[in-house]
């Protein structure tokens, strides 16, 4: 094949389109086309570049992730040093900063100076050098004068354009900003690492900084990183606007992502107002911030003000209360949850962090406790961000007192003394006491009465604990036998509250099937699954009668959940509780089971899906098959008619082949349907 001008133009046009859609998606968060269409453009370009390797350029959107890891980081000397910021912690210090600025500029004390106010992002500072609009180098801040060359890694961050959009940019332009890991991605990353028994990140800042310092760009590419630009460094061969805020807007127009929470404010009171309003929304922002920054907006005035040591006189950071504080572990205890999970908890010397006083912090599970090696007496960093439960982020090992000991998982439940076991492949250790264990019973009852379950108002945690301790509550059914007279005898219970509680117990009897199923507290069966099971079967009797295989035909129910549900309803004592609940008048409307098309093209056929299909997710494939009357189960057996196998199909494929079951790929499934 010869490379024609038309092909060359085609490739360039595809690149332009992809760059434009990258910008819409990443910088504006406002995509114009569906992901599938974007993928199609990308595949088309990849194909062209494969056929004509001479078409590949380093700023092509296909060239984000390099193939080979680098062996060491090179050093980048910052032509203009990357400075730090002075801090203020309260309104008084902010007023002081403002007075100094006005005095230096010889302006009257009542001048309403314009400040650009922006969040102070909590990630890792980076410098991005664009030459003729093409990203040629990425560097860390380092000590401000010398950073590390991380070009191979910044290229993998999809919101960083490899080439600027539009025109009019200086021939050399250094963009500076903060690379960060969004909070939700950070939590998800840590949850996943924790259940895989791997090391977690202490906070989103370390996650960002650590991810940027990888020698292998593939590792960085797999981390969910993002970036906001907040200033410029080198500007040569062109000019920028005369106000900081306008420069940031201009960067945005060239396709660089900038923080949307920026404002130009006038005077110090407006600065403080900005601080308060961002502070109120701090927990709702998708990224971590540790304060706000005010910058004198006029570059002319910035130049007049200049620098002192390594910080500008024209800007200051106004810090929020810290999300991390230092304290001491006084005790490590093990708590038993509703499903018996035995969780280590650190009892701390109380410390004010993230806006509240914290005296307990989770250690998640025994592996995590061992990995961090937290011991009684240790100085630790506690972290509490947003509504996430406080956790011990790290140990200051060199402050460890003498004579501390590694903490071991107790062999017996600290509450009921039953054996504690750990199932193969599970991170949680569990008390084997079941509902014999007062802790599990208490938690199960708290769950049963909670707002999204039976919603019994007035039956709070303390009350349940008292009733369990007094042996008045053994199962949820006992709740419906409580009398006003016995309630009146309890601590902090007057005549009126006893009466009100009896009323809300009475009111809770009329419920719905999804709520009832959820209230039972079956492991792995949350609200969504309960709703799905309820609408599939319509009535409780049908749920009880369902086989494990049939349960797997419910949307979102896989083999693990099906097994849990079946196991729960196979226990005599669980069925007893359900019967008693119904005897005492707990009721809900029942309906007919969901109609299953009995005459669809796939009626009577049983399918198993495995591996990754090219266009459908497994749930989509399942929905498709079910909508045509087919049945989808989770494991291959003699009753399976077809195995739908995608990429990375494992043992199910081998079993199907052994059993001589027809194996189809997604295309095969589609042609089966269209027959």
> Least distance in Å: CB of 628 to ligand IVH?
53
Residue nearest to ligand IVH (CB): 125
**147/354 with CB nearer ligand IVH:** 147
> Least distance in Å: CB of 83 to ligand IVH?
4
Q: Which stretch binds ligand IVH (CB under 6 A): 210-218, 310-318, 591-599, 606-614?
A: 310-318
Sign of CA dihedral 533, 536, 541, 544: negative
**231/418 with CB nearer ligand IVH:** 231
Give yes or no: 120 in active site.
yes
Kindly tell me which residue out of 113, 315, 345, 437 binds ligand IVH, with binding defined by CB under 6 A.
Answer: 315
**83/435 with CB nearer ligand IVH:** 83
Cβ-count burial 245-260 (b if 16+ within 10 Å, e if not): bebbebbbebbbbbbe
Stated as kind and residue range, the H or E segment containing 382 is: strand 379-383
- Span 530-589, contacts to ligand IVH by CB under 6 A: none
- Span 260-299, contacts to ligand IVH by CB under 6 A: 293
Stated as kind and residue range, the H or E segment containing 267 is: helix 267-281
Question: Counting contacts by CB under 6 A, is residue 312 touching ligand IVH?
Answer: yes
**120/536 with CB nearer ligand IVH:** 120
**7/146 with CB nearer ligand IVH:** 146
Question: Counting contacts by CB under 6 A, is residue 206 touching ligand IVH?
Answer: no
Cβ-count burial 497-525 (b if 16+ within 10 Å, e if not): ebeebeeebeebbebebbbbbbbbbbeeb
On whether the CB atoms of residues 116 and 244 are closer than 8 A, the answer is yes
Q: Kindly determine how many residues on this chain lie close enough to bind ligand IVH according to the rule CB under 6 A.
A: 15
Question: Counting contacts by CB under 6 A, is residue 666 touching ligand IVH?
Answer: no
> Least distance in Å: CB of 307 to ligand IVH?
8
On whether the CB atoms of residues 181 and 211 are closer than 8 A, the answer is yes
Q: Which stretch binds ligand IVH (CB under 6 A): 82-90, 423-431, 460-468, 505-513?
A: 82-90
> Least distance in Å: CB of 229 to ligand IVH?
9
Q: Report the side by side order of strands in the sheet with 642-645.
A: 631-633, 606-610, 642-645, 662-664
DSSP bridge pairs for 379: 328
Q: Which stretch binds ligand IVH (CB under 6 A): 78-86, 103-111, 238-246, 436-444?
A: 78-86
Kindly tell me which residue out of 45, 117, 125, 517 binds ligand IVH, with binding defined by CB under 6 A.
Answer: 125
Record the tokens describing residue 656, joined without a space: 């199907």
- Span 231-260, contacts to ligand IVH by CB under 6 A: 231
Record the tokens describing residue 28, joined without a space: 């504006």
**178/391 with CB nearer ligand IVH:** 178
10 Å CB burial of residue 195 (0-12, 13-18, 19+) is middle
CB contact set of 254 (below 8 Å; sequence gap of 6+): 133, 161, 164, 165, 166, 169
Any idea of the CA torsion for 22, 27, 33, 39, to the nearest 10 degrees? 30
> Least distance in Å: CB of 106 to ligand IVH?
23
Kindly tell me which residue out of 83, 165, 240, 594 binds ligand IVH, with binding defined by CB under 6 A.
Answer: 83
Using DSSP's 3-state secondary structure scheme, residue 544 falls into helix
Kindly tell me which residue out of 230, 275, 320, 642 binds ligand IVH, with binding defined by CB under 6 A.
Answer: 230
10 Å CB burial of residue 134 (0-12, 13-18, 19+) is middle
Give residue 170's Cα distance to chain centre: 38
Record the tokens describing residue 588, joined without a space: 């809900």
Report the alpha-carbon distance of residue 23 to residue 25 in Å, rounded: 5
On whether the CB atoms of residues 326 and 361 are closer than 8 A, the answer is no
**257/564 with CB nearer ligand IVH:** 257
> Least distance in Å: CB of 394 to ligand IVH?
21
Report the alpha-carbon distance of residue 520 to residue 339 in Å, rounded: 11
**276/419 with CB nearer ligand IVH:** 276
> Least distance in Å: CB of 60 to ligand IVH?
30
CA atoms within 13 A on the CB side of 616: 19
DSSP bridge pairs for 128: 138, 175
Q: Which stretch binds ligand IVH (CB under 6 A): 5-13, 186-194, 247-255, 312-320?
A: 312-320
Q: How far is CA 431 from CA 346, 410, 417, in A?
A: 19, 10, 8
By residue count, the chain amounts to 675
Query: Active site residue: 120, 257, 372, 622, which one?
Result: 120
> Least distance in Å: CB of 116 to ligand IVH?
9
Closest CA to 423 of 529, 342, 518, 369: 342
Sign of CA dihedral 522, 524, 527, 533: negative
- Span 103-122, contacts to ligand IVH by CB under 6 A: 118, 120-121
- Span 423-482, contacts to ligand IVH by CB under 6 A: none
Question: Counting contacts by CB under 6 A, is residue 147 touching ligand IVH?
Answer: no
**118/185 with CB nearer ligand IVH:** 118
One symbol per residue from 340 to 379: x for binding ligand IVH (CB under 6 A), - otherwise; what is it?
A: ----------------------------------------
One symbol per residue from 391 to 420: x for binding ligand IVH (CB under 6 A), - otherwise; what is it?
A: ------------------------------
Report the alpha-carbon distance of residue 272 to residue 278 in Å, rounded: 10
One symbol per residue from 487 to 516: x for binding ligand IVH (CB under 6 A), - otherwise; what is it?
A: ------------------------------
Q: What is the DSSP letter of 27?
A: I
On whether the CB atoms of residues 561 and 525 are closer than 8 A, the answer is yes
**133/204 with CB nearer ligand IVH:** 204
Report the alpha-carbon distance of residue 633 to residue 624 in Å, rounded: 14
CB contact set of 651 (below 8 Å; sequence gap of 6+): none
Report the alpha-carbon distance of residue 124 to residue 204 in Å, rounded: 10
**317/554 with CB nearer ligand IVH:** 317
**78/564 with CB nearer ligand IVH:** 78
> Least distance in Å: CB of 233 to ligand IVH?
10
Q: Which stretch binds ligand IVH (CB under 6 A): 52-60, 83-91, 568-576, 656-664?
A: 83-91
Closest CA to 544 of 512, 528, 527, 522: 522
Question: Counting contacts by CB under 6 A, is residue 178 touching ligand IVH?
Answer: yes
**278/315 with CB nearer ligand IVH:** 315
Q: Which stretch binds ligand IVH (CB under 6 A): 188-196, 309-317, 365-373, 441-449?
A: 309-317
Report the alpha-carbon distance of residue 65 to residue 81 in Å, rounded: 29
Kindly tell me which residue out of 7, 46, 57, 84 binds ligand IVH, with binding defined by CB under 6 A.
Answer: 84
Record the tokens describing residue 116, joined without a space: 């650009």
Closest CA to 590 of 653, 667, 534, 507: 534
Record the tokens describing residue 494, joined without a space: 């007057």
Q: Which stretch binds ligand IVH (CB under 6 A): 80-88, 245-253, 537-545, 600-608?
A: 80-88
- Interface residues with ligand IVH (CB under 6 A) are 83-85, 118, 120-121, 125, 141, 178, 230-231, 293, 312, 315, 317
Catalytic site residues?
120
């Amino acid at each position: 094949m010869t490379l024609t001008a038309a092909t060359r133009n085609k490739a360039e046009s595809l690149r332009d389109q992809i760059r434009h859609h990258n910008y819409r998606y990443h910088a504006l968060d406002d995509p114009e086309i569906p992901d599938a269409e974007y993928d199609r453009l990308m595949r088309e370009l990849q194909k062209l570049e494969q056929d004509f390797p001479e078409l590949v350029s380093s700023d092509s959107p296909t060239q984000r992730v390099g193939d080979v890891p680098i062996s060491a980081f090179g050093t980048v000397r910052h032509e203009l040093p990357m400075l730090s910021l002075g801090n203020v912690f309260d309104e008084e210090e902010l007023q002081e900063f403002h007075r100094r600025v006005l005095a230096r500029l010889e302006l009257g004390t009542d001048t309403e100076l314009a400040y650009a106010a922006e969040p102070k992002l909590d990630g890792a500072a980076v410098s991005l050098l664009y030459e003729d609009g093409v990203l040629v180098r990425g560097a860390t801040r380092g000590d401000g004068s010398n950073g590390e060359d991380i070009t191979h890694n910044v290229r993998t961050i999809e919101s960083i354009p490899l080439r600027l959009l539009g025109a009019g940019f200086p021939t050399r332009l250094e963009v500076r900003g903060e690379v960060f890991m969004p909070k939700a991605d950070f939590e998800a990353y840590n949850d996943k690492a924790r259940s895989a028994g791997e090391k977690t990140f202490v906070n989103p800042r370390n996650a960002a900084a650590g991810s940027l310092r990888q020698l292998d760009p593939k590792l960085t590419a797999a981390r969910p990183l993002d970036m906001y630009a907040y200033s410029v460094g080198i500007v040569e061969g062109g000019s920028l606007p005369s106000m900081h805020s306008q420069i940031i807007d201009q960067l945005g127009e060239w396709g660089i992502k900038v923080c949307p929470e920026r404002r130009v404010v006038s005077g110090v009171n407006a600065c403080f107002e900005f601080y308060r309003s961002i502070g109120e929304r701090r927990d709702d922002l998708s990224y971590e911030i540790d304060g706000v920054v005010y910058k004198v907006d006029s570059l002319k005035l910035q130049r007049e003000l200049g620098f002192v040591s390594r910080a500008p006189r024209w800007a200051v950071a106004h810090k929020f209360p810290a999300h991390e504080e230092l304290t001491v572990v006084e005790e490590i205890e093990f708590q038993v949850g509703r499903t018996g999970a035995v969780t280590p908890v650190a009892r701390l010397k109380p410390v004010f962090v993230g806006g509240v006083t914290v005296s307990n912090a989770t250690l998640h599970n025994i592996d995590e406790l061992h990995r961090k090696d937290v011991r009684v007496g240790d100085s630790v960093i506690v972290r509490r961000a947003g509504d996430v439960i406080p956790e011990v982020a790290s140990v200051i090992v060199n402050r460890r007192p003498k004579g501390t000991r590694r903490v071991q998982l107790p062999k017996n439940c600290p509450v009921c003394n039953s054996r504690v076991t750990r199932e193969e492949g599970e991170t949680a250790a569990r008390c084997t006491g079941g509902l014999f264990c007062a802790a599990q019973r208490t938690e199960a009852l708290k769950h049963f009465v909670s707002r999204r379950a039976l919603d019994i108002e007035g039956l709070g945690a303390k009350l349940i604990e008292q009733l369990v301790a007094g042996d008045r509550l053994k199962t949820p059914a006992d709740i419906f036998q409580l009398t006003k007279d016995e309630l009146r005898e309890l601590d902090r219970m007057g005549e009126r509250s006893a009466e009100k509680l009896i009323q809300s117990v009475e009111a809770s009897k009329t419920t719905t099937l999804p709520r009832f199923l959820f209230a039972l507290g079956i492991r792995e069966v949350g609200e969504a699954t309960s709703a799905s099971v309820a609408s599939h079967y319509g009535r409780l009797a049908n749920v009880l009668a369902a086989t494990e295989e049939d349960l797997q035909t419910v949307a979102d129910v896989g083999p693990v959940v099906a097994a849990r549900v079946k196991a729960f309803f196979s226990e005599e004592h669980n069925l007893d509780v359900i019967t008693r609940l119904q005897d005492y008048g707990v009721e809900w409307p029942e309906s007919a089971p969901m109609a299953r098309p009995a005459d669809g093209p796939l009626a009577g056929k049983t399918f198993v899906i495995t591996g990754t299909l090219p266009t459908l997710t497994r749930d989509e494939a399942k929905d498709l098959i079910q909508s045509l009357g087919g049945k989808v189960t989770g494991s291959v057996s003699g009753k399976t008619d077809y195995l739908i196998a995608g990429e990375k199909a494992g043992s199910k494929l081998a079993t199907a082949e052994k059993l001589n079951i027809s194996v189809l790929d997604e295309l095969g499934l589609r042609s089966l349907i269209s027959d």
